Amino acid sequence: MSLFGKNALVATINGEVFRCLVCQGGLFGTRTIKLNTGAMEFLDLAWANRTSLGVICDNCGYIHEFLGDVIRMWDPESGAPA
Boundaries of domain holding 24: 5-74
User: Does residue 60 form part of some domain?
Assistant: yes
> Using H for helix, E for strand and C for coil, what is the string for 31-42?
EEEECCCHHHHH
Distance from C-alpha of 82 to C-alpha of 75, rounded to nearest angstrom: 6
> What is the model's pTM?
0.77
User: Does residue 63 form part of some domain?
Assistant: yes
- Maximum CA extent, the chain: 46
| Contact (CB, 8 A) for 70 and 11 | no
User: Does residue 82 form part of some domain?
Assistant: no
User: Does residue 36 form part of some domain?
Assistant: yes
**Strand duo 51-57 + 28-34: pairing:** antiparallel
pLDDT tens for the chain, 82 residues long, are 456 656 899 999 998 999 999 999 999 999 988 777 777 667 777 676 678 899 999 999 999 999 888 899 998 888 788 7
**How many domains, the chain?**
1
User: Does residue 79 form part of some domain?
Assistant: no
